[in-house]
Amino acid sequence: MHLLDFKRLYSDIPFSPLIFIFSYIKDMKPKRALIFTVLILTGMVLVAVFLFYPRRISKNSSQQECIKAAEDYLQKNQPESAIYPLLLAVQKDQRDFMAHLLLAQAYFRTDVYPLAEKECQTGLELNPQNRETMELLCQIKLEQGKSSWEKENYLPAISEFMYVLKESHNQKLIDSIAQLTGGRFKIQRLTHDLFPDDAPSFSPDGKRIIYHSDTSFYLEDYGLKKIDKKKSRIFVMDPDGKNRTCLSPEKENETSERFARFSHDSKFIVYEKENSPPHAGDTSFNCDRDIFLKSLDSGQVKRLTHDPTYDALPAFSPEDSEIIFISDRPGGESCLYRLNLKTGETRNIFLKESWNENIGLYIRPQELMLPYYPSFSPDGKKILLHAGYETRGVFLLDPAKEELKRLTDRTVDCYFPSFSPDGKKIVFVSGSPDEEDLYIMNDDGSDVTRLTYDGGSKRYPAFSPDGKSVIFSAKGEGEPDYYFEIYLLNLDQTISKEKLKERLERLKIANLE
């Protein structure tokens, strides 16, 4: 191409306001067209600089020039450069509302919260009804409250949060306070009996909740008194916690029954039962347990396992043809077992030795058998469980393909996983002792979301059949085990502003004591 064939270049330019200029250029000689093009481009650059770059600001600049320069800096995400022209603008006119608002924005975006708050307050004195300034002040209050909360200066933080709840219309700010102080989802307490209530789950139709309650404590006069024998019984209740009914025998010599689960047709429950009661004065549970099946229509009970070891944590397969459970019976390749309900055949689930060496699938140093809390995926093809030596994690086992995938990579324990009804989500507990919270993630381990922020101890979360709620057992930080109660977290309902205010008032009182 001779000196860049500009004639050909400009002949391909589509219609635009510049076509009149280019019509002259395309008929020029190449060298002259090049020079003319350079001059046009230089002019365009100068115009862009004039239009988009603020002029140099000095003390002699006008009020309007200072404001315009600051707005340009803020628009280009250079808030630190906007501070000087805005300080000049405020110096020139102390009652310029826009100068104070923009200066507050600049300070806020550079994390200088005390000065940002001061400018917002000045702006509100000049224009008390301005909603933008008030919402900015609430954002500043929220950030200052977060900083105090993280430093465990709870009373100053609560004061800032209460201001936001009083003045802000921004639901995101309200949700942020809720998340930080205990979670934004509405949580309902279902049991209030001061017995340890544990391992809740829904019936397939969502009309009943099954769980077990340890009746080793009872309320007498003004205190709690421990009785001689520790016993667990299975109960069902309505989703609102009412109409509680005991499904276990009430006889004195009956042993503990725990960890019950509904069949998918709601006709049966499967559970673990101690084979002999503990001795008087012994409050620990007997580890000689077996798996039992009970008809909810007839009340007939069938014993499924007959092994003098620990058979526990049973769960139905999706088609109710078999159950999965854990056992420490000797000779097995793992502690995972499947039991065919038609034939009664029990077979061990194969786990590779390398898996055990890497993550600890059989036993922990504290002699806690793993894997733990197994359950089938909704399609019945995979098994969800938690396992691990130093740090427990959530795993998904594909027995047919002999594949094991770790779904969590957190540095703290993750345990008690449970599938959503559609199999797309998994809820689990994570944290250190007395600082545990609920989390939810996709079935491949991605998109981990924290559901609660109140710490304490939490166990055995499970989805409702419609996937809109999570039921779990929990107790507060530092509370004894007999304070474990059943709670329901509503994924489609957030805590109201008034309830959040009540929460903060309780926290305030607790920190004043």
Encode pLDDT of 317-338 as tens digits.
999 999 999 988 776 666 889 9
**Which residue from 162, 93, 174, 104 is spatially nearest to 133, judged by alpha carbons?**
104
Task: Supply the pLDDT for residue 227.
Answer: 46
Return d(Cα 438, Cα 507) in angstroms, integer: 21
Give the CA distances from residue 482 to residues 72, 198, 236, 265, 278, in Å, rounded to whole numbers and listed in that order: 62, 10, 19, 33, 19
Return d(Cα 9, Cα 263) in angstroms, integer: 75
Three-class SS state of 376:
strand
**Residue 278, class by beta-carbon neighbours within 10 Å (0-12 exposed, 13-18 middle, 19+ buried)?**
middle
Return d(Cα 258, Cα 213) in angstroms, integer: 8
Is the pLDDT at 357 greater than 90? The verdict is no
pTM score: 0.72
Is the pLDDT at 216 greater than 60? The verdict is no
Task: Supply the pLDDT for residue 446.
Answer: 95
Task: Supply the pLDDT for residue 193.
Answer: 83
Task: Supply the pLDDT for residue 368.
Answer: 44
Task: Supply the pLDDT for residue 94.
Answer: 94
Dihedrals phi, psi of 102, to nearest 5 degrees? -65, -40
pLDDT tens per residue, range 227-260: 445 688 999 999 999 999 999 987 777 888 999 9
**Residue 189, class by beta-carbon neighbours within 10 Å (0-12 exposed, 13-18 middle, 19+ buried)?**
exposed
**21-35, 78-92, 141-155, 179-193 — which is least confidently predicted?**
21-35
Long-range contacts of 211-214 (CB under 8 A, 24+ apart): 211/235, 211/237, 211/260, 211/473, 211/486, 212/257, 212/258, 212/259, 212/260, 212/271, 214/482
Is the pLDDT at 220 greater than 70? The verdict is no
Can you spell out the DSSP letters for 411-477? SS-EEEEEE-TTSSEEEEEEEETTEEEEEEEETTS-S-EE-----BEEEEEEE-TTSSEEEEEEE-T
- pLDDT category at 89 given cuts 50, 70, 90 is very high
Beta strands 217-220 and 435-442, pairing class: unpaired
Average pLDDT over residues 128-157: 96
The secondary structure element, H or E, covering residue 179 is helix 171-181
Tell me, which fold does domain 185-351+422-494 have in CATH? Neuraminidase (2.120.10)
Long-range contacts of 54-63 (CB under 8 A, 24+ apart): 54/85, 57/84, 57/85, 57/88, 59/88, 61/85, 61/88, 63/89, 63/92, 63/93, 63/96, 63/99
Dihedrals phi, psi of 407, to nearest 5 degrees? -100, -20
The secondary structure element, H or E, covering residue 154 is helix 154-167
- pLDDT category at 36 given cuts 50, 70, 90 is low
Average pLDDT over residues 106-121: 96
State the chain's mean pLDDT as an integer.
Answer: 84
Q: Distance from CA of residue 501 to its chain's centroid?
A: 22
Is the pLDDT at 161 greater than 80? The verdict is yes
Give the CA distances from residue 40 to residues 16, 34, 107, 283, 413, in Å, rounded to whole numbers and listed in that order: 15, 10, 41, 91, 65
pLDDT tens per residue, range 378-414: 999 999 999 876 788 999 999 888 888 989 988 889 9
